[in-house]
């Protein structure tokens, strides 16, 4: 921790701090720093690509904070740890357990505003690589969503799965059909605009701050299809009716194919891929 404090002092963020350990999620260690400049949240990770992960998260938090003020903690700095790994420092959130219908409406309004923030260059992608959990995500810019989702998300995911399961013939066959045929079938009748998304918005990555209301954290952002956000958001502890009623008043569901696309965005499990492949007669 002394190395982290040295970096914070060198960057003029604080001069002294009291440190306490707190929950940091599934893969990180986390700390609350009570400093002379206010409370700071710090999380650390020892993996070789921890800098990539935290730089991606820092840029994601910065983009979200600029698009929707007080919707995410503000990133302060990323640094390298002396024995390997890295850390990320942000402003500290004071989360409550409130999730009333009014708060869900407020969450929907903020998320809808985020999803109204279009890509600065009109393309799909993000300026830096991000990580969703321990998975690196290539965010190279693409002109259309179909290409980005197929080549920057699904194909690398399939390749990684096949590396771990090289003998799985059904996985290979179904994955190739989904990537080469199903995705086009699901997207051909709708217009997709590149808007800023959180990228990993399950129920554990949003909450209610006692000062700022609904907030999001641990993002893995890109400029992509707003519908992709809901594949994760509805998978674990979905918001209620009030949230969706408000959100869809700003961004109506795109038809045809909304429910089928949600299946495609949720991942590449065998059961999902079998169902999707039936849409193109495979």
Q: What would you measure as the largest C-alpha separation in the chain, in angstroms?
A: 64
DSSP β-bridge partners for residue 56 = none
Concerning whether 164 is annotated as a catalytic residue, the answer is no
Specify the DSSP class assigned to residue 72.
S
8 A C-beta contact, residue 186 and residue 176: no
What are the start-end ranges of the H helices in 129-257? 145-148, 155-164, 169-177, 183-187, 228-233, 241-250
8 A C-beta contact, residue 126 and residue 248: no
Q: What is the CA radius of gyration of the chain?
A: 20
8 A C-beta contact, residue 218 and residue 25: yes
Catalytic hit among 102, 144, 200, 212:
200
Return the number of other C-beta atoms located less than 10 Å from residue 94's C-beta: 12
Q: Which residues are catalytic?
A: 200
């Amino acid at each position: 921790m002394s190395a982290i404090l040295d970096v914070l002092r060198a960057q003029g963020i604080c001069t002294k701090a009291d440190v306490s350990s707190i929950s940091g999620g599934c893969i990180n260690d986390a700390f609350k720093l009570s400093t002379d400049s206010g409370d700071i949240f710090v999380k650390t990770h020892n993996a070789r690509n921890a800098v990539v992960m935290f730089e991606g998260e820092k840029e994601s938090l910065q983009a979200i904070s600029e698009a929707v003020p007080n919707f995410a903690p503000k990133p302060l700095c990323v640094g390298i740890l002396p024995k390997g790994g890295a850390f990320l420092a942000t402003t500290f959130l004071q989360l409550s357990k409130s999730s009333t219908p009014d708060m869900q409406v407020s969450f929907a309004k903020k998320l809808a505003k985020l999803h109204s923030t279009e890509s600065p260059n009109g393309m799909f992608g993000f300026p830096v690589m991000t990580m969703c959990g321990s998975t690196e995500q290539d965010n190279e810019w693409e002109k259309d969503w179909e290409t980005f989702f197929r080549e920057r998300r699904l194909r690398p995911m399939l390749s990684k799965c096949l590396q771990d399961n090289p003998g799985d013939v059904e996985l290979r066959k179904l994955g190739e059909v989904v990537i080469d045929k199903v995705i086009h079938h699901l997207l051909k009748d709708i217009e997709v605009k590149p808007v800023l998304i959180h990228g990993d918005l399950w129920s554990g990555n949003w909450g209610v701050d006692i000062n700022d209301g609904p907030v999001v954290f641990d993002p893995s952002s890109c400029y992509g299809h707003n519908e992709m956000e809901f594949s994760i958001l509805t998978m674990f502890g979905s918001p209620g009716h009030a949230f969706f009623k408000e959100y869809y008043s700003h961004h109506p569901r795109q038809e045809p194919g909304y429910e089928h696309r949600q299946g495609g965005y949720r991942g590449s499990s065998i059961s999902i891929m079998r169902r999707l492949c039936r849409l193109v007669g495979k």
